[in-house]
Amino acid sequence: MQNAINELSLQNYRNLKSFELTINSSPVLIIGDNGMGKTNILEAISMLAPGRGLRNAKLDEIYKNQSTSFRIEAKAITNLGIARISTSYSAESSKRLVEFNESKITNSELAKLLKIIWLTPQMEGLFLGLSSDRRKFLDRIVYCFHPEHASLINKYDYYLRERMKILQLPSLDYSWLKIIEEKLALEAASVIKNRRHTLELLQASLDALDSPFPKARLDITKAEEVDFEKSFADSRELDRATGRSNFGPHRSDLLVYYDTTPASQRSTGEQKAMLISITIAQVIATQNFSGAHPILLLDEIFVHLDETRRNYLAGFLSQCGSQVWITSTEDDATRYFGESQVTRL
């Protein structure tokens, strides 16, 4: 099944007071000068996936000046058929509301409805940044293969916080602590299993890829099978003394190599090329694994690519079967696609 947005409506979303678009072709090219709101449209679509979107923005930073709320609504082809999905936020309630056909759902349940992949210029520093950013990047990939993963992460984080609350008490309740650690261990094992399975599928897709983009080699730290319950128990004193949880999948780091060299030691251009290669492999692996065609959000994807890579990427995007959204400051981007829907801001 192809996931796709058929209609998109935004209200008070950043600099877009009101924006509506009916989609009738792919790719969707959004062309305009910097500051016109191209990336904001992609970000709004990314908010229909678990989490806080491609900018990881605080909700009260999103609504348009002089407003106190925003709303995103889409008519979409989902994994459960054609439906209306919306998400909104109001400063008055300080809560985000997510709805599927006007019924409330949780943010993590969005992973069961749509598979959405994005790549932005800000992600080009992924290999040099925080390990937490790489974990989030990996977990977003995992959602495409294991939609329940978003809920697993939420449960794991919840039990991790509950355990730390107990450890910070003057007198430990060992019976309750053991119960929490049992639950935490179950979630930890599932999180690790999903991540590792996803990396295996992704690496197989990368290895089979014949493209002008470099083939990345992927690994993850702290992905070994251990007795999680015992390990959490063994780390109690250290965690209590340091005020943080020193063991678990929340400490894992995604490792990316080009040949034998860590991606962090390669040039900026090579790092971007590796991210594009990983994205292409993710699309192919998702299709092979589930038969689903994810929505692709690509912000200024053609910038700094040579003609060979531009032509290959355009050919892949035209033939991959996914709905593709591309932003560009140049009309020149249209020449790479025979058929497309162009929106100018």
Residues 108 and 100: their CA atoms lie apart, in Å, by 12
The pLDDT of residue 274: 96
User: Position 204: which residue type?
Assistant: A
Q: How many CB atoms lie within 10 A of CB 279?
A: 21
Give the residue-averaged pLDDT of 194-209: 97
Kindly indicate the confidence band of residue 270, based on its pLDDT and cuts at 50, 70 and 90: very high
Please say whether the beta carbons of 263 and 271 come within 8 A. yes
Kindly indicate the confidence band of residue 339, based on its pLDDT and cuts at 50, 70 and 90: confident
Domains and their CATH numbers in the chain: 1-115+292-345 (3.40.50.300), 125-291 (1.20.1050.90)
Give the residue-averaged pLDDT of 203-219: 95
Closest among 141, 144, 113 to 126, alpha carbons compared: 141
The pLDDT of residue 262: 96
Q: pLDDT > 90: what percent of the chain?
A: 89
Kindly indicate the confidence band of residue 338, based on its pLDDT and cuts at 50, 70 and 90: confident
Torsion-angle region of 122 (φ positive above 0: left; ψ -120 to 50: alpha; else: beta): alpha
Closest among 292, 280, 314, 116 to 205, alpha carbons compared: 280
Give the residue-averaged pLDDT of 327-336: 89
pLDDT above 80 (res 224): no
190-200 core/surface letters (b: 16 or more CB in 10 A; e: else)? bbbbbbeebbe
Q: What is the mean pLDDT of the chain?
A: 94
Three-state DSSP state, 32: coil
Which residues contact residue 10 at a Cβ distance below 8 angstroms, ignoring those fewer than 6 apart? 16, 18, 19, 20, 41, 44, 70, 71, 72, 73
Residues 277 and 214: their CA atoms lie apart, in Å, by 7
Q: Summarize pLDDT for 118-130 with one digit per residue, the tens.
A: 999 999 999 999 9
Please say whether the beta carbons of 237 and 246 come within 8 A. no
Three-state DSSP state, 53: coil
Q: Which residue has the tokens 């991606």?
A: 263
The pLDDT of residue 333: 85
Give the DSSP H/E element, type plus range, for residue 238.
helix 236-242
The radius of gyration computed from the CA coordinates of the chain, to the nearest angstrom, equals 21
Tell me which range, 56-70, 76-90, 324-338, is most confidently predicted by mean pLDDT: 76-90
